Each structure stands twice: as C-alpha cells, then as structure tokens.
Amino acid sequence: MEIIFLDQNKWIELAQVHSGRTKGGPIAQLFPRLVAAVREGRVLFPLSVANIIETAKRNDHVSRRLIAETQAMLSLGYVHRSRAARIEVELRAAIQRRFGIEPEPMPAHWAIALGFMQAFEPMDELTASPGELARVGRMTSLVDPAALYLDYMITQDDTRRREANAKLSQGLSGLVARIEGRRARFAGESLDMRRRIYAAQSWVDHLDVLNRIVAALGYSFDDLSALGDSAMRALLEDVPTMNVEVEMATRLEAKTGALSANDVLDVQSFYTAIPYSDRVIAEKAAISHAQQAKLDSKYGVILSRSLEDLSEHYLG
C-alpha cells in the first residue's frame, strides 16, 4: 500500500472537486480514482497534525466540512503519529545502534495510527497515560475513526473552537518570533554553520528524553559521549524526525523575507511525513528545500509539486 502525504493546499484542491466547484480537468478525473484506490487498499492519505489544525481553524463551516469530508474519505481516519511518540521510538533505536545493539523490529507503517486524536501526544497510544489510552480506545471502537474525525470538525462548539485556534495562533506567532530572533543572530553564518547551531539546539531541547532513554537501556550519558563526536553527530542523523526538522528549518531560516506561521507548519508537515511516506505532494518552496537537502534520496520518498503527478498511477 502506498502512503501519500498532501499538504493543506492539495487537500483544498481535492475538496473543490468534492464540492462540485471543480467539474473538469485532470484533478476532477483523478479524485474518484483516488477514492476507489483507497477503498481497494492500494493507497492511503494519512493526515498530519498540521492538516488537522489547519482544517479546524477555518471559520467558514461549509468549507471546513467539505475539506474534512475529503480528508475523511482518503485518510479513513488514519494519521501520522505525534512527534513525541516518533522521536521516542526513533531515538531509542538510534542509541541502540550506537552501542551495537540491534533494535527491536517495528511493524510496517508503525508511525501511522488509527484515530485523529493520535496525532497529538497526550492521546497517542505510544505516549498516552493508561487512562487516556483507555478513553481513546473506547472512542475508536464505538465510532468509525473517519466518522469521528468528521464529527469533530463539524459539530464542535464554535466558541471553543475559535478560542483554541486563537491560542494556537498566539503560540505559532511566538515561535515565528523566536525563529526570526535566531535568524538575526546568525545572519552572517553559512548554511552549514546554521545547521550545526540548529542541531546543537535540538539536542539541548531533547536532552531529558535522551538521558531517560539512555538510562532505560542501562547506560549513562557519559557512556554515550565516550563514543566520540562523530558518533553523536551520526546519532542525530539517525533520528529521522529530528534530522528532517534540522534540514528543513535550517533552509527556512536562511531564505530571504519574513517568515509566517504557514512556514512553520510546512516544516512540521515535512518532518512528520518525509520519513514515513512513499510520496509527499506540497508547495514548490518546501519541496525545493527538501530536495536541496537530498531528503528524497535519504528516505526513499518521491517529492511532488502537483496532484497531477498521481495521474499516471491512478488514471487509465
């Protein structure tokens, strides 16, 4: 089964077909074939947390419903797991490899989970508390996950939805401001130096997780450090979510012009999808950054700018 990630603009294109606004052309021909291929188990379009957030923040309830219906049809309620859960698994395996231990094999598509709640750390079955895990399990066993996602998008209290979106926007604005501050501090540095700086910050941000996992494996941070600087650099590159984030964020910060919340969501989408998708279809700038970093060859993913690139596989 092929796993395909779509950024939000591609979901909007498909929703235009679903709504009947786009009646002709290649995307109109493609959409019903994609729906059929999903039903046949040939392909799946899991959502990222960024997809969910961007759909939920649409204030027009009709467009929000149409996009959610389109996403429900093609995702079947599956999502990419939370960032914290992915890093937990990836980092543990990377540390084991540094010490010459073969990690326990993970099931195919382990980073794809059923139920939109699992895109969020507190409700991801790999990181959730026992009580939350039981609650999520009951919900997904009683209601079809695709229907549960659609219900969430169209029936949630509008006042609460707007309040939640306002808080999210504030958080994203704060993150953009911090990134802009870092851009200003390192404006004269080369791309390679920016990458090194971002990688070092990434380790600082995840030091508690690193120490906890190292201790759980029966080692100490000193044992890990004793492997040498090259081993530590290789460790970061062996953690896909962190590695893609460093590469994408470094290039984002090096571009000219002001950054936006959408730029941050693009980075989030790419470090979520690239390691665990067969194809990623997104906007030109983000795809170019990923190709410059050679992430497509490293992770064996096809990077596309247009839905029409799917025609050769799902038309005819």
Pull the structure tokens for residue 168.
Answer: 């999210």
Per-residue confidence in pLDDT tens, the chain, 316 aa: 999 999 999 999 999 999 999 998 999 999 999 999 999 999 999 999 999 999 999 999 999 999 999 999 999 999 999 999 999 999 999 999 988 899 989 999 999 999 999 999 888 998 888 888 788 777 777 789 999 999 999 998 888 888 888 888 888 888 888 888 878 887 778 888 888 888 888 888 888 998 899 999 999 888 888 888 777 778 888 999 999 999 998 888 877 777 788 888 888 999 999 999 999 999 998 999 999 999 999 999 999 999 999 988 887 6
CB 281 within 8 A of CB 309: yes
Handedness of CA 159, 165, 166, 171 (dihedral sign): positive
> How far is Cα of residue 284 from the mean position of the Cα atoms in its chain?
17
Selection from 5, 32, 4, 38 nearest residue 17 by Cα = 32
